[in-house]
Structure formats: C-alpha cells, structure tokens
Structure 1
Amino acid sequence: MAKRQTAVIGAGISGLGATKCCLDEDLEPTCSERNGDIGGLWKFQKSTSEKMPSIYKSVTINTSKEMMCFSDFPIPDHFPNYMHNSKFMDYFRMYARHFGLLKYIRFKTKVRSVRKRPAFPFSGQWDVVVEANGKQEALVFDGVLVCSGHHTDPYLPLQSFPGIEKFEGCYFHSREYKSPEDFSGKRIIVIGIGNSGVDIAVELSHVAKQPTFRELGNGPLSQHPTVSDDLPNHIISGRVQVKPNVKEFTETDAIFEDGSREESIVVIFPTGYSFSFPFLDGLIEVTNNKVSLYKLVFPPDLEKPTLAVIGLVQPLGIVQPLGIILPIAELQSRWATRVIKGLSHLPSVKTMMADIAQRERAMEKRYVKTPRHTIQVDHIEYMDEITALVGAKPNLLLLFLSDPKLAVEVFFGPCTPYQYHLQGPGKWAGARRAILTQREWIIKPLRTRITSEDSPASSQLSWIKMAPGGLALLAAGLAYFRYIHRGKQK
C-alpha cells in the first residue's frame, strides 16, 4: 500500500517537528519552505522581506533548553541553558541531520494555494500549488499540515495615535529592528512592553539617549507576562524611562498623557503580529486574530480531518512564563498525523464547536480583549490535553508502582517534554534516562571546573535546597521511599 502523501507548509520549529512526526507514522512528507534554510523565525536575516518572520541579532531564548527541546532529542548538555539564536539554529540543524529531514524539504518554494480536491463526497485529498524559480507546480496530497506560524503580518496600531500621519520622524515595527548601532545618540520611544519591546529598550539604552517605553494594555493579569532580568536594573539606574501613553504626535514631537513631550525621536512599535492563511483560499477564516479550530488545530467543519494547523498557540506557564511553542507544536503534530492516518478520531462537529466556544469564553474572561490575546494556552494543561488525545499522557499511578524513582522526578520535577514519550504511541527508550539526568544537564554549562565535592548526590541536594519548599519536598520524598522500601521487605 502506498504511503499517504502529506504536505508540510514551513520548515520552522513546527515544520521540522511535523516532518519528523510524519515519518514516525509512516507518512510521506513533502515540506515546502519559502526561505533558503530551516529555522523559520529563528533564522536571523539582516534584511526583511514581505510576510517573513524576523528576529534581531541579539535574541536569546527566554525558556530553558530542557523545556524547549524536541521530546526525543535533548539539546546537548554543554549548550547554554538560555541559548543565543545562533546556538538554537545549531540545534535545529543537528535535529534535521539526525532524523534525515533535509531530503524531504523543498527550499525557496512558496505554497500558493491549498484547495479541496474536486470530488463528491470529499475524498480528503488536497490540490496544492507551489512555486519555485518562478514556475508553478500542481501537487496532490492526502493530508496537509500548516506550519507557517503566527509571526507573519506586523501589527501597527497607528489608528490609536492621533497625528502619526503628519509625524516627520522615523517610526517602524520592531520586525525591522536588527541591532543598536544605527541608533547611537538618538532619542527612542518603544511603544509596547512585551518581551521584544523590553529587550529592544534595554539594548538601545547602551547607545541611545535614555529610551522610553510605554505599555498598550490593561491590568497586570489581563495580559501574558513579560520576562526580563535586565529591565528593573535599567529602570532604577535611569537608563530606561517608563512613560504613560502617547496622547498624540506632532510633526516633530510625541506628546504624552502627562503633558511631557519628546522631540527628534525614533519610534519603535513592538506591537505583535496578525496571522493569516491566504493560501488556504478562505478555508480558515481569521477575524481579529480569532480562528475557529478544535484544540487550536483542526477546522471543525471538514468532511474528513486531513488538514491541521500546527504551532498556532501562545503558551503560558508558572515557572517558564512564555514561549514554549516547540514541544507543544511537536505534540500537535503527533496527534494530527495519527488523525490523518485514521488511528485517532475527532468527535462530532457539535462537540468540537462547543469546545471552541468554551475556550473563547474562558479567553475573554481572563484577558483584555485585543488581537494579542486570542491563542493563549496554559502550557502544562494544554500539553496534557493534547497528549491524552495522542494516548501518551503519563500514567503517574502506574509509574509509581512500576518505577518509583522515575515517578518522583516526573511528579516533583520540571515538566520537560521527555515525559510525553514514556508511554503509548511514539514511546522512546531514551525518555527515562533523559528525565533522570535532566538536572545534571542544566548544571553542566555552569561548571567551569570539576571539584572533589562534585557528585550526582550533592547536585541533587543542592537543587532541592534551592527550590521553594525544598525541605518539605525532601521530607516527602524520603517518606515515600521508606514506604516503598518497607513494602518491598514485606
């Protein structure tokens, strides 16, 4: 029987994982990437082109490597815990080479359209038109995984700033920002206090004249959080100034709500992105960054579920507040490929629509109503939700009975992606070892020399002491092991 042909659109972090998941399920992937390299958003480029994601030169991940890796391919232990984008790209190349993904990727190839293949009833197949070297080609696929990301269309809320149309100074979206050298001695206003806005303001403070920034949103819990180690120090030392809203612009100045003004300025808008799927020809409607997708993956009204969107999430967490898209996208791909292959099944349209409506209500209740807050998910809760659909959610009770040491680390330790490969479809033999050694891998980059005091036991103790409530966790762990040991003696 011929393998099901599956189109993967994009070779960023979502597309790489999706291509590998296709191979795991014995599907035949063809990945189309409009760029000349893998990595998507994380591929630094000096120049920006239309509808292409882009980062600035200094970008470093704000999530630790153990939380942000592919679930069956740990990031090397000597890599920094918080990697520069170039190091992250090194990891992607290692992943692609290890699993032989590059031969399935067609670079500099744009997907122009994806349409249902004419048939009644719908066969589940898709007509896909791609373009490379100025020539178009029509292909037929049994399934489609859309991995184009949600950093596609820069969002500039210019309508919120009266007078901006007559402002003669320079203003642009943060997507155009690459490095601080061109802004030496200039006055900078950064409008928005998301992660990119904070990073840019802090970086420019070393060369510019006291950058100022202001936030666009409402209360402290109505938006997803911003993470920065440097910002408090830069504010308290006066290198970055926080200002209220910009009331209006004149030809040369920005006037703030408190009456103060800045002249001869450069204005940077790190105000996020809108996403769209123009190549889907209206198949998935996007209104103010809202989409109706079951579990943020499947269109609910398809006759056959052979098209899925991967990586269209903004994850939130307690320990790692923002940014863990990679392992979530990988899980979505594991689920989607099983659905496309017919190994997993979706509920009724009515049930899916009810789930979508419930998610939207919860989102509106929790966050300020803006295009920025439409695809938020709670990291661990959503990972468990999708893994349950895959059939690979860890059974902690069974784990405590069969492997207490591993169970304790899964229950009390960080929620690293490896635990979703312990059981069920896609079980990985290396998952147990990866979980039991993950703390050592975190410590490894911090060790500049080996001392006689270094030992696995001492490092484990140091982690427990450093953690909040560490003594309580240690006591609970010891009590549990004593209980297990007594049970074995009996």
Structure 2
Amino acid sequence: MSSTNIQKVCVIGAGSAGLAAIKSAKEYGLEVIAYEKSSYYGGIWNFKADDCSGLGNVMKSTILNTSKEFISMSDFPTKKEDANFMRNGDVFRFLTEYAEHFGLFSNISFETSVIEITRAKDYERTGKWIVTTESKGNRSEVIFDAVMVCVGHHVYPNIPQFKGLQDFRGTITHSHDYKTSRLFEDRRVLVVGLGNSGGDILCEVGKVARKTYGCSRFGTWVTQRVIKGGYPRDILMRTRYNEWRLKMMPGWLKRQLNLSNYNERLDHSLYGLRPQEDPGQSPVLLADDLPLFLSSGWVELRMGIDHFKENRVVYEDRREDEIDDVIFCTGYNFDFDFIEEGKVVPVSDNQTRLWRRIFPPDLKYNTLAMIGVIDPLGPTITCSEAQTRVVAHFWANQIDLPSESEMQKEIDRDKAATKARFKCSDRRASLQIDHIWYFDQLASMIGALPDLGPVNFWRDPQLALALYFGPVTSHHYRLKGPNPWKDARKQILGTYDRVHYGMNTRERALLEKRFNSENPTLYAHLLPIPAWDIGFSILLFFTILGIITFLRGVL
C-alpha cells in the first residue's frame, strides 16, 4: 500500500485515544484538528449524570480494572500519590493533566459532529479524505491528508431480543445508562450478563435491592484486582517473565496451575460459575466483592434466560423469578457507517478486518486509521496510544505498508490465532488481544522495542531485571526509537516504589524518603515471585540446556 505526503490530519473523537492521537500527530510535526461531538473531552472517563445517548459512559462508582502503572502514557506517568486502582474521576483528572501538559485543547473543535467521511475526488492520486461536519446547525466540508478515527467500540447498547420481552411490564435498561443504584432500592432486579460491568452493577445493586439476581448463559471465571501480598493483579501477572514461563510450561501443567489459581478464592464449580472454556480462553470477570455477595445471599445466580412474562423471567432450567427491573450488561454494537456508509470498514457481528487492528487492508493509501477497535487483556488506554504512535510515525515518514494481499493473509492468520486462543464465541473474542505481544508488535514497527538481549544484563542489569520481571508498561517503549523519553528508565525502575506508595497511605513519610532516593528498590521486581516459581524456571532452563547439549553430542 502506498503512502503520500501527509501534513494535515483529522482526528475523530477527544476521548483518551483521541487525545493520544492529537499528541502523537503533533509530536511528528503534523497539523492536526480533532472533532468532538460533545462539549467535553475524556470520553467515557468524563462521568455524565444526565442522558448520554450515542456517547460512551461509565457508572459513578467505576474503578479501573487496570492499575495506575498501566494507564500511564508512555511519556506522561500517573502520580505516585494516585491510588493503584483509580476511580473514573481520577482518570479524567489524569487525562486533563495530560492534555494541558502537551497543549492539546487548542487542537479540539468541540460540539462538532462528524456526519460523513468520504474519499476526495482526487483520492486515487492523493489519498485525501473529505470530512463533513456539523456544528450549531452549520455544515462544512474540510479536506484532510489523513484521518484517525478514535470513537472506540462502546457505542450502541446491545439488548438481546428474548421472547416475551415486549410484554414485560417492569423497567428495562442497559449498563450504558446505569449511573447509581438509587433507583433500585427495595426492588427485585435482574442483571443480565457477567462481564465486568455486570459484575460491578450486580454487587452495587445487591446492597440496596430487595432481591438481586445475576444470570449468565455461559458462566465465567472470576478473579480480583488485588492478589498476593495486596499487589495489583496486573503488576504481578503482566510481565515478560510470566509470559515466557506460561509458554514454556506443558499444557497440562499450565491448565492445572490456572485452575488452582482461579479456584483458590472461589470454587467455580461449587458456585455454578464454571464456563466450558479453561481459564485464559475466555474473558475474565474482575469482581473483588462477588464471592462475599454470593455467600451472604445479597446476590443469587441463575442460568440463561428462556423468556419473559409480564412480571417474571423464566430461565433455561424452567426456574422462575418475579422481577421489577432488568439491567442488560450485554455489551455493545458498533459500526463505521459514517465512513462511506460503512463500506470502507464493514462490521459484521462486531468483527472487522483491520491490519494490525488499525488499517483497512483494501485501500490504495494507508491514510485512514482506526484507533481503539480492540479489547486487550490489559490496558486499552495505552494500547490505543501505541497505535497512534505507529500511525503518526508512518504518516510523517511516508512509509509504505505491505501489499493488500500480504495484509489480508496476515489478518487471516491473526483471526485464526485469536479463535484458537479464545474458545468463547466469535462475538466475545473478536476484539481480544494479548497486550504484551501487541505492544511488542507495534513497537517493532517503529524501532521502539526495548533491548531484550542477554548483553543487556551486563550493560544495565537493573534495567534488564525490570524489563524481564517487572510489569510491561508503556514506558518500556520510550527507551529507544523515535521520540525517546529521557525519564523512561527512571520510571521503569521506580515502578514498585510507586506501587508501594499507593498501597501504604499510613507511612507516607517513610515512603517519601525511599521514593526520593536516586536508587530505586534493588531487585524489587523479583520480590513478588514465589521461590518455587524461580526454582521451576531455573530447572526448566537447565533442562533445555541439557537437551541442547545432548543433541549436539549426538549429531
């Protein structure tokens, strides 16, 4: 695919991905303007108490599922004083500081809806696009060299059509419109779906409702945000060492370890939650309070829905409950119909065909980029930022992408790998992706992949330990490559000091001394790893070394 001389860039949306897109474009000296249909920025993280149809939203009490280290932009970290799991208001404040620091607000046109995006008349020669907007009743057309679409995929609430639902006399709502539990006090409430929103709403409503039921057709694996030693789950789990360890393990051993870990706090079979898929093969529910709520009777679980009656729901096992309200936590539908009536980026059952989850493969020019059409097993905010860095780098340097046939083949391989990795339905798995693998893939495209060779242990052993055994945050990808950040190494080495600062609010004076030290906690990245785990890795290493030595002797 060809590239052109790109100078003028349009960004659609001013949520977290849109802000990152503006910043990346400016970083490469591109002229950029962003159109935001609402009067505010921040996307879903700007909580809206009133109606927000057509816009993303979160509930008032939403807490991040990823810890603060993972939402830190690659060259703009969260504060050490921030809680490890930030509330939605804290995330919005962080995005505000990010936008102010890099001067992004002047590039945003608020209350401007994008009505249509079409290829310019001279597209075949220039790759340009016409963006039609509307603001305060006035329509206008502007020609851009390239467009980044940053509207995400939490757009249209998905409400399944069950038999008898039209006859139900109670209230029907979707998690998109849920704000607080106040409207459900002393009522009988059914929460449909056990994704992360469903788990949060189930527990919040369970505190005030007369009866609260949660139903799921498939079941789900449940874990919590805070695990061993009070550390954030992703801090311990999202490491290169852990990824390597799991890949090297025999399948049966990995399965048994996963089952043991997930069932340690909550026996999924006993509670009727166990899905058909093994852990890691389907989305996981992060619900810290659910085991207690199930044990206390504040929440009861049910099978999937068969049909509704006027004031009752009938489940697949023919059990019935009287209910007053139904809250559907059943995900979202999305489309890109505003781009040439959906023909450029067609969406079928929430699935798209995008090269590296960014570029439509069948366009002559790579001047249209789709940002945030992913659901990573990790931080969406920084994965989207990484996408914008790749796009801006390619556009500014006029780098060609592979041919259409090569891109189509890679998309097919990617979809096959996703289907093999995630055994759940195509709709649920279509946007899933392993965030470390994806980070590395994007970074390698622009030369920002950190040095992971063995020589790094001699040159900078502290950094090497952090890169292998520490959490893989976006700062890893500012050590080298285009626009490196001078504080990236310091930020990486100080990860555990900042995590500890967020954990201990009582002894801040002592922690302040540690934090202000020029040398971060030595070998902190090894501390949370169990001794048996290190022993297993050493044994595995010498076993592989022995096999290689033996084969060399035989051959």
TM-score of the alignment, normalized to the shorter chain, above 0.5: yes
The one-character-per-residue Cα deviations of 1:345-381 (angstroms, maximum 9, x if unpaired) are 3111111000111112222333322423211111101
Matched, 1:239 2:298: yes
Q: Secondary structure at the match of 1:136?
A: strand
Q: What residue number does 1:156 align with? A: 159
List runs of 5+ in structure 1 lacking aligned partners: 317-321, 477-490
Q: What residue number does 2:480 align with? A: 423
AA matched with 2:132? V
Q: What residue number does 2:214 align with? A: 213
1:404 Cα deviation from its structure 2 partner: 2.0
Q: What residue number does 2:370 align with? A: 309
Structure scoring higher RCO (CA < 8 A, sep ≥ 6) equals 2
1:465 Cα deviation from its structure 2 partner: 4.0
Counterparts of 1:460 and 1:260, CA distance in 2 = 58
For residues 468 and 108 of structure 1, do their structure 2 counterparts lie closer, same or farther at Cα, with a shift above 3 Å needed? farther
Q: What residue number does 1:408 align with? A: 465
Counterparts of 1:430 and 1:234, CA distance in 2 = 44
Q: Secondary structure at the match of 1:121?
A: helix
AA matched with 1:142? D
AA matched with 1:81? N
Structure 2 counterparts to residues 340-419 of structure 1, below 5 A: 340-365=395-420, 366-397=422-453, 399-419=456-476
1:466 Cα deviation from its structure 2 partner: 3.6
Structure 2 counterparts to residues 52-71 of structure 1, below 5 A: 52-71=55-74
Counterparts of 1:399 and 1:24, CA distance in 2 = 29
1:176 Cα deviation from its structure 2 partner: 1.3
Q: What residue number does 2:232 align with? A: none
AA matched with 1:195? N
Q: What residue number does 1:481 align with? A: none
AA matched with 1:291? T
1:37 Cα deviation from its structure 2 partner: 1.2
Structure 2 counterparts to residues 268-279 of structure 1, below 5 A: 268-279=327-338
Matched, 1:298 2:298: no
TM score, norm. by length of structure 1: 0.90
For residues 183 and 471 of structure 1, do their structure 2 counterparts lie closer, same or farther at Cα, with a shift above 3 Å needed? closer
Q: Secondary structure at the match of 1:30?
A: strand
Equivalent pairs, count: 467
Counterparts of 2:114 and 2:406, CA distance in 1 = 32
1:260 Cα deviation from its structure 2 partner: 2.5
* 1:11 equivalent among 9, 14, 38: 14
Matched, 1:472 2:475: no
For residues 276 and 403 of structure 1, do their structure 2 counterparts lie closer, same or farther at Cα, with a shift above 3 Å needed? same
Counterparts of 1:136 and 1:231, CA distance in 2 = 49
Counterparts of 2:532 and 2:206, CA distance in 1 = 38
Counterparts of 1:344 and 1:81, CA distance in 2 = 39
Tell me if the contact between 2:462 and 2:522 (Cα under 8 Å) persists in the aligned partners: no
Aligned alpha-carbon RMSD (Å): 2.2
List runs of 5+ in structure 2 lacking aligned partners: 219-274, 539-555
The one-character-per-residue Cα deviations of 1:415-455 (angstroms, maximum 9, x if unpaired) are 11101000111211110110111111111122312577975
1:305 Cα deviation from its structure 2 partner: 0.5
1:164 Cα deviation from its structure 2 partner: 1.1
For residues 138 and 120 of structure 1, do their structure 2 counterparts lie closer, same or farther at Cα, with a shift above 3 Å needed? closer
Counterparts of 1:472 and 1:201, CA distance in 2 = 39
Counterparts of 2:414 and 2:533, CA distance in 1 = 38
Tell me if the contact between 1:255 and 1:261 (Cα under 8 Å) persists in the aligned partners: yes
1:261 Cα deviation from its structure 2 partner: 1.5
TM score, norm. by length of structure 2: 0.80
For residues 206 and 141 of structure 1, do their structure 2 counterparts lie closer, same or farther at Cα, with a shift above 3 Å needed? same
AA matched with 1:278? D
Matched, 1:202 2:203: yes
Structure 2 counterparts to residues 271-290 of structure 1, below 5 A: 271-281=330-340, 282-290=343-351
For residues 259 and 399 of structure 1, do their structure 2 counterparts lie closer, same or farther at Cα, with a shift above 3 Å needed? same
Q: Secondary structure at the match of 1:226?
A: strand
Farther-moved stretch of structure 1 (14-23 vs 242-251): 242-251
Q: What residue number does 1:484 align with? A: none
Counterparts of 1:13 and 1:461, CA distance in 2 = 33
Matched, 1:230 2:289: yes
Tell me if the contact between 2:497 and 2:514 (Cα under 8 Å) persists in the aligned partners: no
Counterparts of 1:154 and 1:289, CA distance in 2 = 12
Matched, 1:34 2:37: yes
For residues 82 and 216 of structure 1, do their structure 2 counterparts lie closer, same or farther at Cα, with a shift above 3 Å needed? same
